[in-house]
Structure 1
Amino acid sequence: MAALLKCFFLVALLGATYNYVECNDTCKETWKDVTNAIKEGSKESFVNHVGPLAQMAKTAYTANTGEEIPGWQLVQEFKMINGLYALAYKSETDSNKLVLAFRGIRFGDNDSGGTEDDLCARFYLMDAGLECSDDKRGLPESCKRIPGWVLDYLNQARIFIAQLRATYPDECFLYTGHSLGATLSSILSATSRGFESHAVSFAPSPSNVPQIVTNLGIDADYSRVITLFDEYDGNVDLDKCKYGIRCRFEGPEPEACATCTADKPFPDISEVLADMQSPCELCLHHTHFFSHILKTINDEGTQRPQCYEQDCVAIPFAKEDQKEDTVERRLLDLLSERFTGPDDDGAKGR
């Protein structure tokens, strides 16, 4: 019991140091039904397993927590003022399953938050050397007024997970979300050691997850990460490092996408949103926006996606001294000394 309490204390206070403490290893097989249905199941099986996850990701956008999802019970809402928004669902048929759905970039304000903070959090995550400091280099000027801890959605997600672990220590977690929420889900799954968490991520943006993870200095395993995306979604850049199980919805190329990329690569989503009604923005409507993905999943006339597995080797972070001297690493050292004493050789470098 003492060891377990120590484990949860470290996870809760580090929230989110970017290395999980290894506490158990019981969840390797729990989500195999979902993985198999996505990789090789029939269209009906695919919809039955992915549909509820997509509905959870949608509810994370709408914050309509009264909307029921058959077979699942909403057990917790995580809401930071002008920050991360996420929902936790527990299976009513399998007591071991718990899903966390993270909101992506919300367009327009509602009960789950607004657009500007989400876009700034995306920039913050893309500048992956920042971690949890207030050094907001590289951010747009409009984002620099927002404290770094508010923009660090990854850190906030770790805190939410630590809270849930304390309440549900035996459940097996799966993360899901769309766009920015999908990126968070992929990183959280790939860096979960011991808990064997999984992810079903819808069109992650930013999509260079291995680069972000490598820059943060985290050990990662992408074998439990499933990415679903439209083949013409320029936001899921296929020229970047591929990882995990990638499932591509195939179909004819929208005319707007062909026009958008006729003489240049697809621009970053922040540039697209600054030029509404452009061909690139219309392309996003037909490929990236979650309404399109929901329709693609549920439409009887569409085929299930084609899936393949991909290994990825990301480029290491260039500034090793900056990677080593992080707020989280210093905090981890301090807390380790409190638990084990400064003379314990095993206290550092976890």
Structure 2
Amino acid sequence: MKPLSGLRIIEFDGLGPVTFAGMVLADMGAEVLRLSRSAAAGTPVFADVGGEVLHRGRAAVEVNLKDPADHASVLELIGTADALIEGFRPGVMERLRLGPDVCAARNARLVFGRVTGWGQTGPMADQVGHDINYIALSGALHALGEPDRPPRAPLNMVGDYGGGAMMLVTGVLAGLLEAKRTGTGRVVDAAMTDGSALLMSLFSAFSARGLWKEARGTNLLDGGAPFYRCYACRDGGHVAVGALEPRFYAALISGLGLTAEEAPQFDMANWPTLHARFEALFATCDRDDWAAHFDGTEACVTPVLSMSEAAQYPHNQTRGTYAGHPLQPAPAPRFGIDAPDVGRQPPTLSLDDAVRAWS
């Protein structure tokens, strides 16, 4: 049995973080119903994105909330649910007559999870935006990229997924624990600006101690340190070097044929020179040759793999990190149980069937 088995969660289909959050909750065993807009409903409110990967593990139910019968059926589902998750702009659920107050009146123990870019309150709450905008205003984007170039967007993982979806999942799970204890639900306001700012906590601590400069590419963990960055190899591939601790750094420079006297680790004034030297050394061999050279050592040198290569990498294959058809990341974290058939096509239920199943 999975950890969230027995929990019922309603997901209002949407873009980005709420879809990912629904997948994570379903992966952990919750019974998630994904409500999507029916063709009869006209202009879409819900977005059918994510396909076979992000929609895995939960049933889809088409609804038309303009239809009084469908609206009443959704309220009936909410009456037996443990949690609801949605990712619309503030006010949309209220206009659909499914806001927190309406839902709480129907089900006092319901946890109402909301994820947006700017949050439910504040002067920008109603403005549009995307991941790159949210992390731009949280301080996260400024720290990413090369020192002499504009900041580089890190896919949409920091805002949408790390700062949004995973904070939503965490908040919903906390709310469910509280509801079990008190019998009363909670509204969870997960804002991607808040979440991505929280992810910067370590760097705030560094800054408070004078250990972090705001100039990109000059710090310990942002590519400024020659022993914590990526290097190009002879064949055009890259290796990732993460030799932070002195013992690991000793293994790195030994593997590169250098001595501690030639390459002092924390002489920051010498970092540009040391970076250039490491760069020249790594350019003398192919990526996989370096990977083999450092394999089994404490130098923390690994090949930088593409997504297709990662799926074939021996460690990932042994753990089943990728599975299913189409091939996709398997659920994480593990709970000592076998990974599900992640390639399973999620079923489509009628709204009546969903109500009957949950009644």
TM-score normalised by the chain length of structure 2: 0.24
TM-score normalised by the chain length of structure 1: 0.24
Structure of higher CA gyration radius = 2
